[in-house]
Structure 1
Amino acid sequence: MKVTVIGGGSTYTPELVSGLVAQQHRLQVDELVLMDIDAERLDIVGNFAKRMLAHQGSLTRVTLTTDRQAAVTGADAVLIQLRIGGQTARLGDETFPLTCGCIGQETTGAGGLAKALRTVPVVLDIANDVRRLAKPDAWIIDFTNPVGIVTRALLNAGHRAVGLCNYAIGIQRWAAALLGVEAARVEVDPVGLNHFSWTRRILVDGVDVLPRILRDFQPEVLKRAPFPQDLITLLGAIPSSYLQYYYTHDEVLERLHHETPRSQVVSELERQLLQEYRSPLLTEKPAQLTERGGSFYSEAAVDLLASLYSEKETVHVLNVHNDGIIPGLADDDVIETRCRVSSSGIFPMPQESVPPLMLGPIQHVSAYERIAEKAARSGEIDDVRRALLAHPLIGQWTIVEELVPRLLEASAAYLPQFSDAVDILVHEH
């Protein structure tokens, strides 16, 4: 089996390698191809990956390449973990919205739109290579943010793809530790979209224990979910941490004006990690990697990959087409939901009725994501305006007109589809 990782020079990659080792009883990978456009970084991370696998006695062969087409040729599965423009572009996502009085964050609001505009065309190019060169039944697993918008683009273009986030597995492991049970006995049942969801049920052996958790573990819940207790009680659910940008907008906006941007923190952490990875004595992922974020990413990704090539059906929380699961959304909207997964395919599980308190916001953000995906493909400035106007964190025309030139200027080097408009708008600005 050949597994290709696009963006293999990421500091996350050792997490993935660790996951492959842990799951080798379920998934035998003959060749792991790490592809990246940054040859130096690929060499550092790739050689560390080789040492990790050798240390565990793994027979998996690691191939390093900067040639994307060679990387995907004959692949059984392609994992995409990209950051177009790196942490520098992320810094723009986190700062240019603040100048207009808006939330600055890499997957939410105007910053999230900028990231989508940079990312979708590149991912679609990769997917087209996969369609031409990989095995006919190859899966694309997208871990690239914003996952919901990127997955929408992949699915709407007819690719055999699925989106994956580590949020649900993080809740699963947290709940298992809280209750003192094995993680395998716990299932998380969220409703909503990627980075915009509520955990309405946590099942242990099929029994919902969320009411007990909300009642008996209030301090732990509040530590996990940064929201007022009364809000969580009203919802009867655990909101995704990304909902803080909506439910506590003004407080978060004020905080962001005074915090060091996350991109700067991560840049320094990545510098330290890459320095550690260079050591020929290092054969296991360092503890410091947990500070990078993406906890349990490796386990979620490899577990999903193993399930896709197994006859045994297992449950995963994935980003897939709605296809009638949530009434009130279009079939081609992309939701984050529980799915049954095996070599037979991916099958979303039914959702309980969604109350208006959650359904309304889901519809609103889903409408924005539809327009954002279109804007990334069309290269039309008016589609960018429409997306910003549709976003619940923005929605004011004067702010939209301020944001557009700032967004285009911050990401200009990575928006070839907008090149003519960028020159005009940035010059006028």
Structure 2
Amino acid sequence: MKQFILTIAGGGSTYTPGIVKSLLMNKDRFKLKELRLYDIDGERQEKVALIAAKVIEEYDKEVKLITTTDPEEAFKEADFIFSQMRVGKYKMREQDEKIPLKYGVVGQETCGPGGLAYGMRTIFPMIELIDLVEKYASKDHWIVNYSNPASIVAEGIRRLRPKARVLNICDMPVGVMRNMAAILKVDRNSLVVDYFGLNHFGWFTRVMVDGVDRLPELRSHGEKHGLLVEDMSKVDAQHSDPSWIKNYKNIKYMLSFFPDYIPNPYLQYYLLGDKVVSEMDKNRTRANEVMEGREKKLFDAVEEYKATGRVDLSSFYVGVHGQFIVDVAISLAYNLRKRFLVIVENKGAISNFPSDAMVEVPAYITSDGPEVVRIGEIPTFYRGMMEQQLASEKLMVDACLEGSYNKALMALTMNKTVPSAFTAKKLLDDFILANKGYWPELK
């Protein structure tokens, strides 16, 4: 069996131990020779690496672990690079969420103004990463990118590095599929779905199980309960937090208005914005929940390990986030043509939508990249919403690449979550101050 060199870019992420665990639990399908953790924050990464090393010790002692802040060491002859960068870490995520809430606007890290701000921080670092990988990695390498906000990052890559060997993915649709499977009492891998949209902005139009469309059953369940199951902690511990339970519950309201398709939970921020904002705590957002929860849990485990030499690896669970990216990598590695939802340039997949839009649709993943499933035409309501969001995101990429204050203002004004240009200007001016040193200068 071939053995691979794999680098996790953003090795200091709180997700890293779970991803490492998922990789090694699949060693019979995807054997690693070397696992490299790369991060610009070496101190944070070294702490996470202590846990990663224990995971390797338990699951596959043959794997060589390297931790580094040097890009040549990180990427030299690498076959796969998993990119999970978070520019500005959770402290900047907190700003992305809290600045909009000051003005009664959705405060969320990837949707609305927060997502636009985060995207502006991430485009150029992502391009820098691609260039480093292309300089040092194997010529047949693949970057599997799940850095948020995925649509904006993918658009930046499309424009600046159109030939890069990058596959952009998001685990949110597969997270929804996990809930669907639990509701239907079937294995998640038995679901074959049709879906269209932008990242965090799409709809499931068909859910096939053994040749039968189970969407009507899911819709019936969703109209009463959203996409909640009786005990979310048994489905995925990550998505059993109070904020996530609310997200899945809110699907019932969206289905009551627009019952044709099952929406991605993130559409609540666009379709139910007033309700969502009224229920948000301006002083404690999802960023605080993560910092006080998953992040604290990880670094507490590091300190316990340093003090006692013991760590409970069972607490670093393998959820859909880790399993999904590994499954995608295996399909790339062995030309399996497995079907996944991925983010690709439209090029007619949605026939009545701009060709150059980065859309989220089904595709068969081969060693040469995705073979996209044709969706055909989509109805006016959904197309109109997507066109507005697409315009907002493209304008923000324009602003980033051109250093244009006016384009950034247009992007925020265009976004469905922002009520007026007056509010957009307040948001933009606050974001510029908060992102000093991260954003390009806007004139």
Q: Secondary structure at the match of 2:22?
A: helix
Greater relative CO (CA pairs within 8 A, separation 6+): 1
2:296 to 253, 263, 271: 271
Q: Shift in Å at residue 197 of structure 1?
A: 0.9
2:386 to 362, 387, 408: 362
The aligned counterpart of 2:19 is 16
In structure 1, distance between residues paired with 2:211 and 2:402 = 45
Q: Shift in Å at residue 228 of structure 1?
A: 4.2
2:192 to 170, 187, 192: 187
Change (3 A) 1:230 1:395: closer
- TM-score if structure 1 supplies the norm length? 0.91
The aligned counterpart of 2:240 is none
Q: Shift in Å at residue 146 of structure 1?
A: 0.3
Any conservation in 1 of the 2:223–2:252 contact (CA below 8 Å)?
no
Write the deviation string for residues 268-292 of structure 1: whole angstroms up to 9, x where unpaired: 22123211134232262416x68xx
In structure 1, distance between residues paired with 2:8 and 2:254 = 43
The aligned counterpart of 2:267 is 243
The aligned counterpart of 1:319 is 343
**1:346 has 2:349 as partner:** no
Any conservation in 2 of the 1:190–1:338 contact (CA below 8 Å)?
yes
Change (3 A) 1:285 1:128: farther
Write the deviation string for residues 85-112 of structure 1: whole angstroms up to 9, x where unpaired: 1111111111111223321111111111
> Quick check: 44-53 or 389-398, which moved more?
389-398
Moved over 4 A (4+): none
Change (3 A) 1:230 1:27: closer
Any conservation in 2 of the 1:226–1:241 contact (CA below 8 Å)?
yes
The aligned counterpart of 1:305 is 329
- The one-letter code of the counterpart of 1:387 is A
Any conservation in 1 of the 2:226–2:252 contact (CA below 8 Å)?
no
Change (3 A) 1:43 1:217: same
- The one-letter code of the counterpart of 1:274 is F
**1:4 has 2:28 as partner:** no
Change (3 A) 1:29 1:165: same
Any conservation in 2 of the 1:14–1:285 contact (CA below 8 Å)?
no
Q: CA RMSD in A?
A: 2.0
> Quick check: 271-280 or 404-413, which moved more?
271-280
Write the deviation string for residues 210-264 of structure 1: whole angstroms up to 9, x where unpaired: 1122235654435334144573463322211111112111111122255621111
The aligned counterpart of 1:120 is 123
Change (3 A) 1:230 1:241: closer
**1:226 has 2:250 as partner:** yes
The aligned counterpart of 1:282 is 311
- The one-letter code of the counterpart of 1:272 is K
Any conservation in 2 of the 1:371–1:386 contact (CA below 8 Å)?
yes
Change (3 A) 1:222 1:53: closer
Q: Shift in Å at residue 351 of structure 1?
A: 1.2
1:38-187 alignment to 2 at 5 Å? 38-156=41-159, 157-158=161-162, 159-187=164-192
In structure 1, distance between residues paired with 2:419 and 2:167 = 30
Any conservation in 2 of the 1:192–1:337 contact (CA below 8 Å)?
yes
- TM-score if structure 2 supplies the norm length? 0.88
Write the deviation string for residues 320-364 of structure 1: whole angstroms up to 9, x where unpaired: 111101123222211111110122421111115311121110111
Q: Which runs of 5+ in 1 are unaligned?
A: 422-429
Change (3 A) 1:395 1:336: same
Q: Which runs of 5+ in 2 are unaligned?
A: 229-247
Q: Shift in Å at residue 58 of structure 1?
A: 4.3
Count of paired positions? 414
In structure 1, distance between residues paired with 2:42 and 2:432 = 28
